[in-house]
Structure 1
């Protein structure tokens, strides 16, 4: 296999490799590092002995991601304040098609496939995945997000198939108990996001309160590098007043952009041309159940050109 063909083969599978790595790690830079390392392994291996390039590349990427995950878990233990995954711009082609792991190119058009992709990269689900062990997380990502057969996952992880099925069962139960139990129409989420932005920017407390569920939660992630709540804020009254207080500060210096992050509508707030923060909402029964705010500048770098 020539270098040009090797590059072509790798690029054919890059989106699924990035999809696996990002879902495993929750950070774009870490995922990109893992995919780059996978490329170095691929470029240096005797490819004439590899019958299934996809299987080899997924195996290498998953194992590298597991090693990286073990490193970042210790890093996250010293994290200042709540930790949230890094927001990622999704176009349903750059993170792989989870319903058809043999076809990673292009946009996912089918509504059901879009829903699966949106769920598998949502901030809410990625937060839950943080509580899994590295092996459980790998099995869950490969099985639930990408639909890999158990036998193939066993080969990736160098484990017996019965052991992989046990890991999958534990991970599925754990995520099922903690993941949000709702489905949201993308148009409804976008509409609520726009109304939320309008109410907050206009200082409309009554309008904002009408959008918030009584037990709404606000989770802010700054990593100690910018201003954000160091604890989760709960109840509509406290969340609403906090948001209005934020909106009143330097609002003339900020601009807003609505875009798709992690499979759903989100607000990118810019200070000049630089990303300042990301707001994303969980919606249940037409009300906002959780507000995520990412203000850690290290997690906004990839959004600079959005």
Structure 2
């Protein structure tokens, strides 16, 4: 069966820069650089180590940010298909359990093959090697999987950017359901580039739409993720919105966009660039997960308000077939 290719994200040709600057009150420091790597997403373990999801490899690595040491967690290459990219990693329970989406992709086209997604559960609890469980394939023949976020201890919500909607995955059965599509999540150009990144806070699902240049929220049922409200646009006119993070008080979103990290006020949609000159930022995650507040950790267990921000080195170099600017992970104090 012929597969249709579709863009991973809407992009402009970003001139990647190593001249990173920060706004007053913020600071950044380089954690690690990677040659010929597109970091699509990342997660942070309870022990503080980083798990980058790379669109250029289906090998899940772990990075110790203190000394740069790395180790292989698991090799998904070809597992259950022709997976060569990890498009998603999401913290499921705040205790070393992660959901992974692998796909078959061609990063030099910024594209993945529809329906090649496989969803896995990676259990790093306890000692010994990671325990790997295959959950879902597809979920259907047209799906392009991207962002994901835990709804509760049992259910994870996953983006299908081609359908412009949300799937749920039950990690205990496993089982999946197509919860909803929404006009605010659809690609107005019909090129399969709808909703991209999501975060869940209580009964609110925050999401971006790269093709529309928007950031929005929508009410969901916190028990099952079903839609119970209409979408509200928080801000629009974003150039290249990608993955983002929400602070624990739900006052601000920290957004990777173009070559900047934006701080967006959730009350009125106004925003400022707090970091500029990032070479193709793709995602932002807290250095310690705010899931601790949901799952019963004490306030003292949360580190300072810092983010790990990952980059892909700039989209133009990948399209030209000459990725010479290194991808990187930065630590940004906000």
TM-score of the alignment, normalized to the shorter chain, above 0.5 = no
Higher strand share: 2
| Larger of the two Rg values belongs to structure | 1
Q: TM-score, normalised by structure 2?
A: 0.27
State the TM-score, normalizing by the size of structure 1. 0.29
